[in-house]
């Protein structure tokens, strides 16, 4: 039963993205427009995460900003690829 519901949600979102009217989609599925807009919003979500790599210095305590490389990762929900972005290392100003 859960697979049927997931297929119903996916087909409703695909029909919306194809340009079909929301009222006709909801009428054919017996659902409300609020239900449809909820799943459209979930489909379009992306997740963003950031971290820093390196930063250790020999003979120093702690992990300061020196020599760190920030990296951002972006994950599209229900997507297959995860693009990432390397930012230039911090420099002394």
To 10 degrees, the CA torsion angle through 77, 83, 81, 49? -40
32 and 55 in a single domain? The answer is no
Nearest to 15 by CA among 39, 49, 50: 39
51 and 73 in a single domain? The answer is yes
pLDDT band, residue 6 (cuts 50/70/90): confident
| Residue 58 within a domain | yes
The mean pLDDT value for 86-91 works out to 57
Give me the pLDDT at residue 93, please.
45
**What is the spatial distance between Cα 93 and Cα 67, in angstroms, rounded to a whole number?**
13
Residue 84 CA, chain-centre distance (Å), reads 12
67 and 38 in a single domain? The answer is no
The count of structural domains within the chain is 2
CB 52 within 8 A of CB 69: yes
pTM for this prediction: 0.46
55 and 79 in a single domain? The answer is yes
């Amino acid at each position: 039963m859960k697979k049927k519901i997931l297929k119903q949600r996916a087909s409703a979102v695909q029909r919306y993205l194809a340009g079909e009217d929301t009222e006709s989609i909801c009428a054919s599925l017996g659902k409300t427009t609020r239900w449809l807009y909820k799943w459209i919003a979930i489909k379009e979500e992306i997740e963003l995460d950031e971290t820093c790599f390196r930063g250790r210095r020999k003979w120093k305590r702690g992990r300061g900003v020196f020599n760190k490389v920030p990296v951002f990762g972006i994950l599209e929900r229900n997507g297959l690829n995860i693009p990432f972005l390397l930012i230039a290392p911090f420099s002394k100003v």
